[in-house]
Chain A
Amino acid sequence: MTISRKDLLNMRDLSAAEVNTILDTAESMEEIIYRDVKKLPTLKGKSIINLFYEPSTRTRSSFELAGKYLGADMVNMNANVSSIKKGETLIDTARTLEAMGVDMIIIRHPVSGAPGLLAKSVNARVLNAGDGCHAHPTQALLDMYTMRKKFKSFEGLNVVILGDIAHSRVARSNIWGLIKMGAKVTLCAPNTLLPVEIKKMGVNVTSSLEDALQFADVMMALRVQFERQDESFFPSSREYAKYYGLNKEKLKHAKDSLMIMHPGPINRGIEISPEVYDSENSVIDEQVTGGVAIRMALLYLMGGEYDEAQNS
């Protein structure tokens, strides 16, 4: 089984059938994570580079472990401290990696569209591990994997995405993926964090957390991306936490079965209070495990040679 595309750049391009294939494959991969000996020869002889232009702990480690569990040779390249500092462009880097014979490149980049530029420049397969405010498809897939485990189906599922939508690639990828699979998505944020014309993506929008909580099956809080905010989007963290932070008091308005998610890392006490993080409703740690399973599934499905002629 393979994915019939050279690269994984965003959720918008994936078909529902491809999403199901990835989620199904992840189920069988998760079991491997719990084995004593976590090593399969599936990708033996394949070389994969983690090319990260932005700091990351969980996504990079998750990809690295996924690759290693499947037997690939993984190399981490932190572009912030290497050639980019010497003025090397992304395309120069791509050519260099290509010349080294790399099979797959996992890229994280602060600029939207950078993985697509890389993908056009190399024969190696490219996986987007997050670009600017554009897309983070593997995060969306792991979020959907976590939801499907509990709810079995996305049809009619009410998912609320809460917080810094404007700067969130996670939100955009989840919207594409969830709507494609039949879920209902509502965005909840102060108006300054809701990008224009977002409703055209097929979502509902509200600025009232209380309203959103009443019907939500899933509440996905986003990290406030202070590092991307050079403008004043809200007056203070204190005010944000008061009106948009998830705490026990606010959850009184919610269903008992509400699933609470967060892509991490969390600004503790701002997006989610410690007691809510530790509550039974929270699946934040499960998301991390699911992340490795999803990335194993993708590396497995995309690990083969890509034959353009065959797939055209």
Chain B
Amino acid sequence: MKPKILNNVRIVDPSSSADFVGSVVIEKGRIKEINEGTEVNKDSTEYEVYNLEGKVLAPGFIDMHVHLREPGFEAKETIESGTKAAVKGGFTSVCAMPNTDPPADKAATVKYIIEKAKEADNCHVLPIGCITKERKGEKIAEYGELKESGVVGLSDDGDTVMNSLVMRRSLEYAKNYDLPVLTHCEDEALVSKGQINEGYYSTILGLKGMPNEAEDIIVDRDIKLAALTGARLHICHISTREGVELIRKAKDKGLLVTAEVCPHHFSLTHEAVVSFDTSTKVKPPLRSEDDVEAIIEGLKDGIFDIIASDHAPHARHEKEVEYDYAPFGISGIETALPVTFTYLYHQKSLSLEQIIEKYTVNPAKALGLNIPSIEVGAVADLTVIDLDETKEVIKEDLTSIGKNNPYIGKELKGWPVMTMVEGEIKYIDEEVNKNAKD
């Protein structure tokens, strides 16, 4: 692998509050040199040189909520296809949720995922283990062995641990191994057979609604259990105004609570469902304008540490059915960054540094990983972004097997154009590649 030079690029690194135009030299998978304001000229027969004028260089982005579907649901996605989509989406690391078949409740399954990720060789895959055996919500899984095999957190995502005692024991026991518990908050009885947000659109469309309270009740419960146990709780995909307030209060109290929000929950409202397009069917559902406003406020205030895609790909035939029959989920890993830049950066809700922080430093902190940074000696996991690139989302261009994406046909501004993992370019935009090479 030839060493690389990235010239004339705006380097933005929240870990050191760096923001300057300069150049970076990468050798043997690590950052060897950083120069402010200076173009590096070296023998181009020995170095691959990229002129990235006008682009932003950030530490490698982490998507801490991804469903890779393998093992068990390879028709929806494989580790190979999912990680290829991830690097195209600008991510150098992804957390793989454990609702596979078999679920990742044992070391053998976790090792299989890690092995498959190595074979695919696209980006880092950080497995999440199950909270409970077989994800049944009854008995906690073997966290010691799961941690030894490589998990970075625990979750029964897709389902809530409805038994409060089991959840308490999970939080207590996870503390032994300093693992965060990632919670999916949904009161199953109150959600019932809900398909979309309960509100005006569920009423006029005649689709069964899921009230905000179904989410809020469990958020409240799990925060209380985090306070009781002193454990690390990470709250996944918040979608309600009350949820934002509950997390705000938890943080004010100094609890070890982190929280994430998904791009579709700050960019779309339940009005999107009016076409009965099943790519709008997601859990938690797309909520009201008032909830979206609260989510954006929560992002501004730092209530949400993390933005994560909740990438949930499904096979075409599963989504091309009547609304009630379609599975929940958006295949969003390739549009997470452009949606974020379009709806938060270009609409001036968040600064570039804040956005990068929510995709790099904060997820790393929540998971207890090394903080991604651009400094000499650091692993060259890097993401390059063109904030001004405007492009329509085209179904055929999506790399993920899942094409269930509600932004298809929409124009988004701000796209990842290069993703480098351990010094190797895993994705580069064709145009950028053509124009960037000196």
Contacts and interface: CB of A to CB of B under 8 A. Distances in A.
A111 B196 CA distance: 13
Contacts of A160: none
B204 A172 contact: yes
B320 A231 contact: no
A111 B325 contact: yes
Interface stretch (B25-33, B108-116, B132-140, B205-213): B205-213
A105 B344 CA distance: 45
Interface in A179-208: 195-198, 200-201
A133 B202 CA distance: 10
B322 A197 contact: no
A269 interface: no
Contact of B321 (A89, A112, A230): A89
Interface string A130-165: 011111000000000000000000000000000000
Of the candidates A109, A134, A197, A230, the one having the most CB atoms from chain B within 10 angstroms of its own CB is: A197
Contact of B276 (A12, A113, A198): A113
B321 A90 contact: yes
Interface size class of B (residues with CB under 8 A): 20 to 34
A258 interface: no
Contacts of B211: 196
Contacts of A89: 317, 320-321
Contact of B200 (A109, A132, A197): A197
Contacts of B192: 231
B185 to A, nearest CB: 21
Contacts of B204: 12, 172, 201
B35 interface: no
Contacts of B317: 89
Interface in B35-62: none
Given A117-B276, A231-B192, A196 B325 contact: no
A224 B205 CA distance: 19
B345 to A, nearest CB: 33
**Among A109, A132, A198, which residue has the most Cβ atoms of chain B within 10 A?**
A132
A196 B206 contact: no
A116 interface: yes
B390 interface: no
Contacts of A201: 203-204
B322 A196 contact: no
A131 B323 CA distance: 11
Interface in A42-97: 89-91
Contacts of A231: 192
A112 B323 contact: yes
A169 interface: yes
B199 to A, nearest CB: 6
Contacts of B275: 116
Contact of A132 (B199, B206, B209, B320): B206
A26 interface: no
B192 to A, nearest CB: 7
B206 A172 contact: yes
A111 B324 contact: yes
A198 B203 contact: yes
B324 A112 contact: yes
Contacts of A90: 321-322
A122 interface: no
Given A112-B276, A231-B192, A117 B322 contact: yes
Nearest to A201: B204
Interface in B149-200: 192-193, 198-200
A114 interface: yes
A168 B320 CA distance: 25
Contacts of A111: 322-325
B320 A196 contact: no
A135 B206 contact: yes
Contacts of A116: 275-276
B242 to A, nearest CB: 16
B388 to A, nearest CB: 35
Contacts of B322: 90, 109, 111, 113-114, 117
Chain B CB within 10 Å, residue with most, of A111, A198, A231: A111
Given A89-B317, A113-B276, A196-B209, 6 more contacts: A89-B320, A195-B209, A196-B199, A196-B203, A196-B211, A200-B203
8 nearest A-B residue pairs (beta carbon): A133-B206, A113-B276, A134-B206, A111-B322, A195-B203, A112-B206, A197-B200, A111-B324
28 contacts: A89-B317, A89-B320, A90-B321, A91-B321, A111-B322, A112-B206, A112-B323, A112-B324, A113-B207, A113-B276, A113-B322, A114-B323, A116-B276, A117-B276, A117-B321, A132-B207, A132-B324, A133-B207, A135-B206, A195-B209, A196-B200, A196-B202, A196-B203, A196-B209, A197-B200, A200-B200, A201-B203, A230-B193
Interface of B: 192-193, 198-200, 202-207, 209, 211, 275-276, 317, 320-325
